[in-house]
Structure 1
Amino acid sequence: MPLNYDNYDALSFDCYGTLIDWESGIWLAFQPVLVENPHPQIDQNQVLADFAELENKIQSDHPGMPYPEVLKSIHNRFALRHDLVTNEGMDKLFGTSVGEWPAFPDSIEALVDLKKRYKLAILSNVDNVGFAASNERLVVEFDAIYTAEKIGTYKPDAANFEFLFTQLLAEQGIPRERILHVAQSLYHDIQPAKMLGMDCVWIDRQGLSTGGDWGATSVISEWPKVDAVFSDLASFAQAVVNS
């Protein structure tokens, strides 16, 4: 049954992969070490797949590690894995690259349209400084911003979503059943959100539902049932406007 968009007062968003084009940003941020170490067998698909694997392991092993340190460690481990020469400066540069990652072309206009109808919340796996830089690219003022730095754990940990529920109720008076979660990552967002009973919109920017590649997102074997799927944020916003 199609979603009734009148059933919600707030939209909670994953940011990176949904609003910010993190795969383009990650690939660009890897260029210094790749230029210094020409390696014809390392292409964008390899970089993104390794990133997904390394990020998942580091965040699982060190849930309290600040995201810039997670990125720094990813860069260093990637270089070691592929026998690339790196240094502290290049590792640190990658660690602080989040603010340079571009927004998807449709993000700003879609968010402006959605804000006319809903409170907008961010539930993100980055640090406060990193998201603040991304927020400047997105322009829209969010009603609530909950980062991994504030929460102390990384998605897909249920604690991140429970934090969202508690804070939106306390700060905005919005109960969990009136929140619609909007995200690209099946692993980080859709699967744990559905396990907690949330209604979810999948923004399938990678085209996974039509045979696309997982890119920088960890692979899951069993896909959760989503309530709606759109290929981009603009399509979702248009569906809301037309409802």
Structure 2
Amino acid sequence: CLGILLRGSVGPAEEEGSLLSLQRDAKGQYLFDLLCHHLNLLEKDYFGIRFVDPDKQRHWLEFTKSVVKQLRSQPPFTMCFRVKFYPADPAALKEEITRYLVFLQIKRDLYHGRLLCKTSDAALLAAYILQAEIGDYDPGKHPEGYSSKFQFFPKHSEKLERKIAEIHKTELSGQTPATSELNFLRKAQTLETYGVDPHPCKDVSGNAAFLAFTPFGFVVLQGNKRVHFIKW
């Protein structure tokens, strides 16, 4: 048997893993189905399993091929359960577990700087996360600067932290975790970089750029800006 450590699409503070065992000749589909059963996940088509090879290149596990033949590292193997195809309207997903997993993935995208947005949108998204995780603001439990204990972005300022706390205190009181997660999804899907999985390239002038497919079309990014968009 092989030992497979699978990590979910979660943020750095909540990283968890599931250790699964399977036969050496098991195919990717078997592993994927095993994990979906473990998660009680029915809406499978949005997800995939990603791994990083010894050269630090990312790959999606191919379901028709043997798991072990796709990996060049030594066991135990570490792979990640990720959203592969972002739903155009994540709030319309039927199953709560599916919406929650997509929420975790987008939260992760925000933390790793892939979901780019203006400051006001970033503050609102972070406030939704805060409401989902700690509930209503309570001055007895949440002292000054309480939002700084959470890491929503690769880096952020004290001014942004204060804005996040202000929205959380004044605008989101009474929202359940499920409602906050749903509002987070609705806001995230309106952003230009929602669902973007960038791949590095160069334009005709040799300048660094990124290519990405999204639920809505094909995009080219330079820096933090979308410079081309071809709608499906």
Q: TM-score, normalised by structure 1?
A: 0.29
Q: TM-score, normalised by structure 2?
A: 0.30
The structure with the greater share of residues assigned to strand is 2
* Max Rg structure: 2
Higher relative contact order (CA 8 A, sep 6+): 1
The structure with the greater share of residues assigned to helix is 1
